[in-house]
Amino acid sequence: MSATIALAALPAAASAQGAAAPASGEGSAPPAPSAPANAEAPAAAPATLEKIVITGSRIDETTERRESTAAKIVVGRDEIERHGDTTLGDVLKRLPGITVDGRPGRGGAIRMRGLGAGYTQILLDGERVPPGFSIDSLSPQQVERIEILRAPTAETGARAIAGTINIITRDGASRRINDLQVATSVEDGRAQARVAWTRNDRLGPLTFNHSLSAFRQSLATDSTTRTRAVDLDGGATLLDQRLDATAREHRSGLHATGRLQWRGSEPGHSVVLTPFLVVGRGDTRRTGALAQAVPTRDCSAGPSPPEDPTPLCPYDESRSDGSGRYAFGRLNGAWLRRLTPDARIELRSGIGLFRNTLERVATERTDGLQTRRVDDDATTRDRNLTASGKVIALLAADHNVVAGVEAESNRRLDRRTTLQNGRPLLVEFGDDVEASATRLAAYAQDEWNVTPNWAAHVGLRWEGIATRSSASAETPRATNRSSVWSPLLHALWKPDPKSRDQVRISLTRSYRSPGLADLIARPVPNARYPIDGRNTATQPDRAGNPELRPELATGVDVALERYLDGGGVLSASVFQRWIRDFMRSQTTLETVPWSSQPRYVARPRNIGDAVTQGIELEAKFRLSQLVDGAPRTDLRLNASAFRSRVRSVPGPDNRLDRQPTYVLNAGADHRFTAVPLAVGGNINGSPGYRTRISELQTVRQGRKLVLDAYALWIVSPSLQLRMSASNLNPLDEVTGSVFDDVRSIDGRARSVRETSTTTTPSSLNLQLRLEAKL
């Protein structure tokens, strides 16, 4: 019966998509593609059709995925809130092909297919998130659903070599919502608290929604870093350091999103306003004890001479007290109007402001005497303006055409003052760094049913970006311009129009543009090594490169899918990307203007071509679908294997940055019938691996294995209690680097290998959350 209902709904869904978006999604996300005609089934009972038309509800996530010509995974509200996660990163890490950097529960960079840092496009309600904004500052309670596109489309943008994640916030649905959630959690003996309230309602033609959440956290982080340098020719140990560091953080924040939608008297005419606000602060105290076993020398000797291969005269202890505040506000507006029964226009604009301030005082002591003090005062301001317009039309022969233009302006001001022992650093670069980026784009795409067995999606997008930056009035303004044409083709084939099996093929061109921070040449000196002396290869300074070019990627994706009776999906897909002008940060010894001695500096560079490929497997089904009489337990299994190589870097391990060889996920959920209880768990893992950055440099990432579980007690239809445990098997996070170099020792050239390994323990997190429908 469920299959009949889903198939019968498709003609109605196609008609609605061709005219106006459903009420629950209008103005919040790119429109869903029209349903291919080959999805039609024999007419169902009139009662079934009548019920669907009256409710106007969105088709379920599996059906939407099935009917999209471009490969797409849709994650609904039930799956988002299942484990009671406190960060979106913890939600995403369980999804096929996605990994999250950093410790469990602490957030981190989101990666698709092992690729992040510009390879994975993050959208918020269909708009790119501004620079500096972390999606972990958005509470999962504010998210309605998540869409994952494995290949770019002309409408969503081509800056998505790995794929696109579109996060759609909760909107003013027709169903009334008034939900309150109160949660407390404990990690490493430290309490955390969260509260969230979501409400929507309707006043005549006005639909409104708001979601508020607040949190307070107390976190502890301990780490140990061991640094050694060895003379490979003679075997002597040149440097042996151990840094034991602790950090105690107190964070608090408020998140607020809203949505106001006014519907005109004419069908398909509406105006939407979506304000968004995130504010927070954090106070951090870090302490460290640095011991240097080799060599030992009198610290009063001053800075190391240039020929000294062991540059640091160590301190006994360090302390850093920092206080930071951040605020991000955005207001988006949309005007939607139906021009004809089969065409509509959407005009959108938005303004976003981001501000981050940091005040930090760091001191170092040796034998109880202060040897260095650093005062750091930094402020970052970002302003983002966007405007776009598009026309969506359903033409003859079921052609669903979308054409549009986009414009975006980003302006960034970094103001930083750094004093070392009362004297300003980097005077020649000034205190202010200004940068701006202007982006223009135009696109068109067409989606239609070629035959009852074939559906096609063809698009073309042009995008141009111009960036400008300057560090001071005395330094020349750096400019960078680039433009990219991106042809895109997606096809969906069914061996039989009524078949539950289908094949997807995508041929795309995508790109990765340099970030503003990568283009700004102003250096950031290493905090451990004063700039009046030398640093080490594993503790480099950092600086940008205004000559960077964008990466261009040609991609192919092929997927085979089977949709099961009663729900569920089995999927296998392969992909490959050929990348030109690959960008990577590499460390070299340079003569620099900010120091009288040579310094190791990490800069991004275009180093040639690269290629990456992989296979992704996914299965979602109920155990009872495979075994008669088995419990109705939902199973989720996915596995991804990746391989890549950078052609200009010798092997082995010349893979793309931080791309694991594989990622595994397995989860199960069961709802008991005898008692109002639901339980579930998930295991997520990836192996340790090495990445060769250059002929001289290699970095290492330790293995990850995270086990989560939850239990949900349904007290009543309006009240439930959720208990969740994250990171049940706490593992240490281990990272490291190796640098081989030739240095002058006693007047002779010697081969030296420097290694640095950092070990950071993780902790179990227990959470108890009360969920009430008011």
Please report the DSSP string for 219-276 in residue order: EEEEEEEEEEEEETTT--EEEEEEEEEEEEEEEEEEEEEEEEEEE-SSTT-EEEEEEE
32 domain-assigned:
yes
Which residues lie below 8 Å from residue 346, measured CB to CB, with a gap of 6+?
27, 334, 335, 336, 389, 390, 391, 392
Check pLDDT > 50 for residue 48.
no
**What's this model's pTM, rounded to 2 decimal places?**
0.84
Please give the torsion angle defined by the CA atoms of residues 686, 688, 689 and 693, in that order, rounded to the nearest 10 degrees: 100
The token pair at 436 is 């701006």
At residue 646, the pLDDT reads 97
CATH value at residue 684: 2.40.170.20
Is the residue at 267 inside a domain?
no
Mean pLDDT for 527-543 is 85
pLDDT band at 742 (very low <50, low <70, confident <90, very high): confident
Mean pLDDT of 690-711: 94
| pLDDT > 90: percent of the chain | 59
What is the average pLDDT across 180-189? Answer: 93
- 328 exposed, middle or buried (CB, 10 Å; 0-12, 13-18, 19+)? buried
Q: Of 442, 474, 443, which Cα lies nearest the Cα of 458?
A: 443
Q: Is the pLDDT of residue 476 over 90?
A: no
650-670 pLDDT, tens digit each: 989 999 998 999 999 999 999
| Lowest mean pLDDT, pick from 468-477, 506-515, 675-684 | 468-477
Of the candidates 184, 144, 150, the residue with the CA atom closest to the CA atom of residue 167 = 144
Average pLDDT score over residue span 312-340: 90
The rounded distance, in Å, linking the Cα atoms of 166 and 143 is: 11
Domain-located, residue 264:
no
Alpha-carbon distance of 457 to 553, in angstroms, equals 19
CB neighbours (10 Å) of residue 457? Answer: 22
- Lowest-confidence range among 321-325, 356-360, 452-456, 522-526? 522-526
Query: Residue 428: what pLDDT?
Result: 60
Q: Which two tokens stand for residue 465?
A: 């970006």
Residue % of the chain over a pLDDT of 70: 87
d(CA 172, CA 182) in angstroms, rounded, equals 22
Domain ranges, residue 644: 2-193+206-231+294-773
Provide the pLDDT confidence category of residue 387 given band limits of 50, 70 and 90.
very high
C-alpha span between 571 and 560 (Å, rounded): 6
Domain annotation covers residue 259: no
Q: Tell me: pLDDT of 174 over 90.
A: no
Q: Say which range, 36-50, 269-283, 558-572, 710-724, has the weakest mean pLDDT.
A: 36-50
> In the predicted model, is pLDDT for residue 133 greater than 60?
yes
The pLDDT of residue 26: 40
Residues 6+ apart with CB under 8 A from 201: 176, 207, 208
- The whole-number pLDDT of residue 441 equals 97
Q: Which residue has the higher pLDDT, 42 or 306?
A: 306
586 beta partners = 603
Mean pLDDT (the chain, rounded): 86
d(CA 268, CA 381): 38
Kindly state whether residue 132 falls inside one of the protein's structural domains: yes
Asked if the model's pLDDT at residue 11 lies above 70, the reply is: no
Give 664's Cβ-side CA count (13 Å radius): 10
In a domain, residue 505? The reply is yes
When mean pLDDT is compared across 100-109, 612-621, 751-760, the lowest value belongs to 100-109
SS3 assignment, position 141: helix
Amino acid identity at 312 = L
pLDDT at residue 647 tops 70? yes
Which pLDDT score, from 0 to 100, does residue 136 have?
75
Q: What phi and psi values does residue 269 have, to the nearest 5 degrees? A: -110, 120
Mean pLDDT in residue range 380-397: 93
Name the pLDDT band for 51 (thresholds 50, 70, 90): very low
> Sign of torsion, CA 88 93 96 101?
positive
Highest mean pLDDT among 203-212, 227-236, 719-728: 719-728
In terms of average pLDDT, the best of 3-17, 93-107, 528-542, 625-639 is 625-639
pLDDT at 507 over 90: yes
Q: Provide the pLDDT confidence category of residue 58 given band limits of 50, 70 and 90.
A: low
Amino acid in the structure at residue 592: V
> Is there a domain that residue 382 lies in?
yes
Q: Is residue 200 part of a domain?
A: no
Q: Band of the pLDDT at 267, cuts 50, 70, 90?
A: confident
Q: How many domains does the chain have?
A: 1
